[in-house]
Structure 1
Amino acid sequence: MAERARRFACQTFTWEMLGDGWTGGPDDLVEAIAAAGYEGIEITDTMIGHYADRPDAFANRLDEAGLALAAFAYGSDGGFSEPDRAEADYEACRRWSDFAARFPGAVLSMGSATAMSDGPRADKIGRAADIYNRSGEIARAAGVQLALHPSSHENTLLFDKADYDRIFALLDERIDWVPDTGHILRGGQDIGETLSDFAHRIRYVHLKDVTADGTWAMLGAGVCDVPAVLAAASAAPRFNGWIVVEEESDEAGRDPEAAVRRNFETMHALKRA
């Protein structure tokens, strides 16, 4: 199989994790990511700012910067697992599906199911699957592809391989997956096995690194076998070519712009190797 052309995008969570320490806006993110050399951006519902109801204006801003919208990511106050929050989850899906539909090829990424209350884990994963499946219908009706992004953050319901096996067995086959290398490794998974088992769902990749003990690290400074991940993604039948580089290390917390620029340089050094 011929290798698909890969394009590098940057995820805005690197700035989002600063919390109140970040005082900029979406235009600053676009400027920094374009200046670093990336071709695309994945922005979140919490960082889209004054463009939230102005997709045409955001499209124009991206065009000016020479960027494409690779994906739009959103989360849920109900963790995509609480029945009494499901309608709010569906309304958010409608809103962001309509936004993403303005950008041909952009993927709508749903965050990880998270435990927001007590109760059996398996039951919560089952309810999350119902919410993901209904959201997939909503997105497809808007002409947008939906993908699931599991994480290893606090109270996640999608942490280890058993969780991945459970959720994917319950999901509509038309729902895609955003494998996140850092979260997979932090979940103690064999990344090659996980990528292989669910290769048919891979739409794009979140690429980041961790040390052997699960501490976030700059790309190339941890244990992630980046060339192997890129090869696995390129062989996946639904892979759209986007490698979205994301950074959560302490170094990024000190200087996000420098961190994403360094990661871009790391990726190009690997490409030349």
Structure 2
Amino acid sequence: MIKIANAPVSYGVFGLARPDLVTLPTGDALLGLVRDAGYEGIDLGAHGLFGTGDSLVDALDRHGLGLAGGWLDYPFAGTDAEFAAAFDASLPVLDDFALVAAAQDGPGPLPTIADSGDAARKACPGGAPELQLTGAAWERFVTRLEKVAAHVRSLGLEPTFHHHAVTYIETPAEIDAFLRDTTMDLTFDTGHLLLGGGDPATDFARWAPRVNHLHLKDADLRILEAAKGSDNPLRDVWEKRVFVALGEGDLDLDGIATDILASGFSSWLVVEQDIVVMSEADLQRAIADQVANRDTIRRWFA
């Protein structure tokens, strides 16, 4: 059974947020917005946004929402000290995932593991062949990733890995290497795949047996092209709204939705529309977009 969720990032609540420009929704307000828009679940967002421990379980229950997943990034290509610090910082977050999983009916939450990227990747949205890790650097990346996977599984949870713009798992070639050399399954993100040069129409079918989590988003690739050469392409891409409401970008929504249903996928599908909210009007547009996104996909996902 496919269950439909949304995420704080769709309302501007994430690492690129501009709270200096506009007051963003609180955790409790976000839960209410997602519930009222017709979603069954939500991603975790920053740890503590919806509370921690029992208060997190209570907040989700109060709004009738399940926890779909949640972003945890690690500097898999960084120094030993950087990776160790990130690993230790993730432990209480993963403990909360386990606590929610024990109380939640239906599909459990999937800790959504990702690479942190670095300055070289952040300067090149879309990736480049010369940036792909090889040799000892790749072996170290895989070893660290498997360490995280083993800990997640020791808690009775199943991890998922999110390929993502401006990280070391971004392009189809990098995703192929990840699937070849690791045991972790994949969060298939339609929007980030488009940014990385992939094609959801063909790539989903060949990766489907390893897809255990879905992020459905649309992207306007003209924004990515326009950001090339910028002093801060990462921020430019997000602030200029590279991710648009479903049906307004370059995603073949009918094609991917049909393929998802045909694959037999049965878990959380998270609708995401990463947006940097820079005004009250932007916030109201984001709220309306998530209602519209839910209505748009009712054709396939009731």
Q: TM-score range by the shorter chain?
A: 0.7 to 0.9
Residue 142 and residue 117 in structure 1: after superposition, are their counterparts in 2 closer, same or farther (change >3 A)? same
Say which of 93, 96, 99 aligns to 1:99. 96
1:28-59 Cα offsets, whole Å, 9 max, x none, are 21111111111100122x263361xx322111
Say which of 202, 226, 233 aligns to 2:260. 233
Match of 1:31 in 2: 32
Provide the C-alpha distance between the structure 2 equivalents of 1:211 and 1:49, rounded to a whole number of angstroms: 29
Q: Using CA pairs below 8 Å that are at least 6 residues apart, which structure has the higher relative contact order?
A: 2
TM-score by length of 1: 0.84
Q: How far off is 1:185 after superposition?
A: 1.0
Instruction: Summarize the alignment of residues 149-160 of structure 1 with structure 2, pairs less than 5 Å apart.
Output: 149-152=162-165, 154=166, 156-160=167-171
Unpaired runs of 5+ in structure 1?
A: none
Residue aligned with 2:212, SS: coil
Provide the C-alpha distance between the structure 1 equivalents of 2:90 and 2:271, rounded to a whole number of angstroms: 24
Match of 1:260 in 2: 290
* Counterpart contact for 2:201–2:252, Cα < 8 Å: no
Which segment drifts farther, 59-68 or 192-201? 192-201
Which segment drifts farther, 207-216 or 35-44? 207-216
Residue aligned with 1:60, SS: helix
* Counterpart contact for 1:93–1:138, Cα < 8 Å: no
Provide the C-alpha distance between the structure 2 equivalents of 1:235 and 1:113, rounded to a whole number of angstroms: 33
Match of 1:201 in 2: 210
- Count of residue correspondences: 258
Match of 1:179 in 2: 188
1:136 aligns with 2:149: yes
* Counterpart contact for 2:191–2:217, Cα < 8 Å: yes
* Counterpart contact for 2:50–2:56, Cα < 8 Å: no
Structure 1 stretches of at least 4 aligned residues deviating more than 4 Å after TM superposition: 116-120, 249-253, 269-272
Match of 2:179 in 1: 168
Q: How far off is 1:117 after superposition?
A: 6.6
Provide the C-alpha distance between the structure 2 equivalents of 1:147 and 1:245, rounded to a whole number of angstroms: 16
1:62 aligns with 2:57: no
Instruction: State the identity %.
Output: 22
Match of 1:18 in 2: 17
Unpaired runs of 5+ in structure 2?
A: 102-107, 122-129, 225-241
What RMSD over aligned residues (CA atoms) do the two structures have, in Å? 2.6
* Counterpart contact for 1:94–1:139, Cα < 8 Å: no
* Counterpart contact for 2:187–2:215, Cα < 8 Å: yes
* Counterpart contact for 1:38–1:264, Cα < 8 Å: yes
Letter in 1 for 2:249: G
Provide the C-alpha distance between the structure 1 equivalents of 2:115 and 2:61, rounded to a whole number of angstroms: 30
TM-score by length of 2: 0.76
* Counterpart contact for 2:215–2:271, Cα < 8 Å: yes
Provide the C-alpha distance between the structure 2 equivalents of 1:218 and 1:117, rounded to a whole number of angstroms: 29
Instruction: Summarize the alignment of residues 47-126 of structure 1 with structure 2, pairs less than 5 Å apart.
Output: 48-49=48-49, 51=51, 54-76=52-74, 79-82=75-78, 83-104=80-101, 105-116=108-119, 121-123=132-134, 124-126=137-139
1:115-174 Cα offsets, whole Å, 9 max, x none, are 35799741444433222111000000011111101112x3x21221111112222212xx
Provide the C-alpha distance between the structure 1 equivalents of 2:3 and 2:50, rounded to a whole number of angstroms: 27
Residue 11 and residue 125 in structure 1: after superposition, are their counterparts in 2 closer, same or farther (change >3 A)? farther
Provide the C-alpha distance between the structure 2 equivalents of 1:236 and 1:90, rounded to a whole number of angstroms: 34
Letter in 2 for 1:102: L
Provide the C-alpha distance between the structure 2 equivalents of 1:211 and 1:84, rounded to a whole number of angstroms: 38
Provide the C-alpha distance between the structure 1 equivalents of 2:295 and 2:277, rounded to a whole number of angstroms: 16
Provide the C-alpha distance between the structure 1 equivalents of 2:172 and 2:69, rounded to a whole number of angstroms: 25
Letter in 2 for 1:158: I
Provide the C-alpha distance between the structure 2 equivalents of 1:250 and 1:26, rounded to a whole number of angstroms: 17
1:242 aligns with 2:240: no
Provide the C-alpha distance between the structure 1 equivalents of 2:157 and 2:86, rounded to a whole number of angstroms: 16
Residue 117 and residue 251 in structure 1: after superposition, are their counterparts in 2 closer, same or farther (change >3 A)? closer
Residue 117 and residue 270 in structure 1: after superposition, are their counterparts in 2 closer, same or farther (change >3 A)? closer
